[in-house]
Amino acid sequence: MENKVKVRIIGREYTLGTDNTPEYTQALAAELDEKMNAMLSESKTLSGIDVAILCALDAMDESRRAGANADNIRLQLGEYLSSAERAQASVETYKREISSLKRRIEELEDRMEQKSVF
């Protein structure tokens, strides 16, 4: 469901159509407005469009870095899963070996009992 949300960024009002909640959209707009106003106040030579372009480049950089971080996390998770699967396979092997050794101990104890009876 598309929401119509009015926001104000560097003194201009915009009506946005978004699937996000109005609160989320307004929070994003407020953050952008704050960032753009800070840039405008720091440099008297930048125009609104210059600041918008710089903010867009910054947002793209953050997005790419976040994507790269997400890719690294997915790779690490894959490695952890593989390691866990190998460990689980080892556990199963050791369980079978323990079971086999327990049976062998029982057999040997039975043989010892039989020999001690005679």
Distance CA 22, CA 41 (A): 28
Which ranges of the chain have pLDDT less than 50? Answer: none
Distance CA 111, CA 115 (A): 6
Q: What is the pTM of this model?
A: 0.63
Q: How far is CA 51 from CA 6, 26, 55, 74, 111, in A?
A: 21, 19, 6, 34, 89
In this predicted structure, what is the pLDDT of residue 44? Answer: 85
3-state helix, strand and coil shares in percent for the chain, rounded to the nearest 5:
75, 10, 10
